[in-house]
Structure 1
Amino acid sequence: MPPRFVAWGVSEKNPDGRNGSARERLKEQREREKAREKRRRVLIVSAAVVGVLGLAAVVGVIAAGGDKDGGSDKAGPVVAPSGAIDGEKPAIVTGRPDAPSTLAIWEDFRCPACAAFENAFRDTIHELEASGALKTEYHLATLIDGNMGGSGSLRAANAAACAQDAGKFTPYHDTLYINQPPEPDDAFAKNARLIELAAKVPGLDTPAFRSCVEEGTHDGWVAASHEAFKKGSFRGTPSVLLNGEAIFPTKGNEQISKENLKKWVAEANKGKKPGTASPSAG
């Protein structure tokens, strides 16, 4: 009789001889793939000239990857904030509505590259808005919630929309980015923290604002904005377009900077009159 060979640990569900069932290995594989997708979010770094001292700031793009739903399936009915754009590309508009150029910014309040962009170019954007050269459309995404887990992107975006209802979007938007927690820290998921930061904006911390934040009044609208982000051809957040042309981190062969942003707006507005209508409540 020929000798019998016993293959220990091998079965139909475990043909490769490794311990554990196929189901366990599949679960481990999925976890590894999910972790790999998170690591695949690439930070493309470029240097931007900031301020008259020529200091360098780091700005970049966090590539979209992993679970990009961002909790949108849990959102409620679509309730647009006061004066906001609804429809296919929801947005909150700041600046003079008749300004000749439009800056569209797709961003996420948990995104560190978005904070780097905002903190570097905030004053320049406000200056261009005040002069009537530019209006800005803020499209709110929840990319980091999907990639990292949590709900801080959604909760912060809803709170910003609540601030828009109160005519305080711009100062609250800026406050959120100035006080952004580290990316893995989902501090913005806590409504109490968002209300605490509202105290930094005079006149914002009211019963109406608190109720809007705690009830998630604009969650559905934020989810619709994120759906528009997913349908767009964007690499990630922030995505910045001037009159429909991408300018971040570069426009053609030129790198974005305060000086170049002003130059690009001036070139786009050549021969056009600046906006004179009253700025939006945001």
Structure 2
Amino acid sequence: MEREKQKAAERRRRTLIVAASVVCVLGLAAVIGIVAANVGKDDGSDSSGPVVAPSGAQGKDALAIPVGKDGAKSTLTVWEDFRCPACKAFEDAYRSTIHELTDAGKLKVEYHLATIIDGGMGGTGSRNAANAAACAQDVGKFPEYHDVLFQNQPPERDDAFAENSKLVDLSTKVEGLNTPAFLTCVDKGTHNSWVVKSNEAFQKGGFSGTPTVLLNGKNIYQDRTMTPAKLKQMVEEADQG
């Protein structure tokens, strides 16, 4: 009986994740023409300044924020938008498993930040939140702040993250983050141009939407049978060689 309950819970979780993904992608379908029209145009971002990558950023053009040990045998590449409901659904379902695997040294995660909701619905919340997350990386608090942003995500059409005061207020939930260096970085939009470049890389990557989740290069988010337990099994099997 308990096993059946667990299976039912897993089915419900998968349904919720898939449904949220459909909402995120199809919700943008109505404005896809706007998104396409805005590619390469000024979306209100301050992209005129120098591209300043956050501390420790890796990969091509230093667009990936790494979490976990470099020596891990598995790498999870995650493209996310802090305003995207499907990204929140993914994080809510997989957060504890990903933390468990990174803490154990079995998984490295490379986070890439996108701003597709800004492009589709207008506003700057995706960009400003991404900049603040990059500022948190400079202070060594990216994973914690990343989680706080998704846990406190406003409704998709509410551009609350456009307000730096909101982002600063949420930083107080992370011990040691609300520092003068972080506040200055958020206020000046130090990494805004970097965020714009990251979003351009997302647009050129041919991805269908956020989140896009790749395990060792394979898109696992499109796998309707994927669960946190399955992800854990795949990573642990790779770790054992």
Q: Is this a same-fold pair by TM over 0.5?
A: yes
Instruction: Give the superposition deviation at 1:249.
Output: 3.5
Cα offsets for 1:69-100 (capped at 9, x unmatched): 48376323210001012534611000111101
SS at structure 1 position matched to 2:134: helix
SS at structure 2 position matched to 1:93: strand
Counting only pairs closer than 5 Å after superposition, residues 22-171 of structure 1 correspond to structure 2 as 54=9, 56-57=12-13, 58-60=16-18, 61=21, 62-63=24-25, 65=32, 66-67=34-35, 69=39, 71=43, 74-75=46-47, 76-85=49-58, 87-88=60-61, 90-171=63-144
- Asked whether 1:225 is paired with 2:191, we answer no
Residue identity in the other structure for 2:239: N
The separation in 2 between residues aligned to 1:154 and 1:134, in whole angstroms, is 27
Aligned to 1:213: 186
- Asked whether 1:258 is paired with 2:222, we answer no
SS at structure 2 position matched to 1:54: helix
SS at structure 1 position matched to 2:60: coil
- Asked whether 1:235 is paired with 2:208, we answer yes
Instruction: Give the superposition deviation at 1:258.
Output: 1.2
Cα offsets for 1:18-42 (capped at 9, x unmatched): xxxxxxxxxxxxxxxxxxxxxxxxx
The separation in 2 between residues aligned to 1:169 and 1:228, in whole angstroms, is 21
TM-score, structure 2 as length reference: 0.85
Give the structure with the larger strand fraction: 1
The separation in 2 between residues aligned to 1:77 and 1:110, in whole angstroms, is 25
1:88–1:228 Cα contact (<8 Å) kept: no
The 10-residue stretch of structure 1 (58-67 or 169-178) with the greater mean CA deviation from structure 2: 58-67
Instruction: Give the superposition deviation at 1:206.
Output: 1.1
Segments of structure 2 that go 5 or more residues without pairing to the other structure are 1-5
The separation in 2 between residues aligned to 1:164 and 1:243, in whole angstroms, is 23
The separation in 1 between residues aligned to 2:152 and 2:98, in whole angstroms, is 19
Aligned to 1:40: none
Residue identity in the other structure for 1:228: A
Give the structure with the larger helix fraction: 2
Runs of 4+ in 1 over 6 A off after TM superposition: none
Segments of structure 1 that go 5 or more residues without pairing to the other structure are 1-50, 272-282
**Given the superposition, is the C-alpha separation of residues 156 and 118 from structure 1 closer, same or farther in structure 2, using an over 3 Å criterion?**
same
**Given the superposition, is the C-alpha separation of residues 52 and 208 from structure 1 closer, same or farther in structure 2, using an over 3 Å criterion?**
farther
Identity of aligned pairs, percent?
55
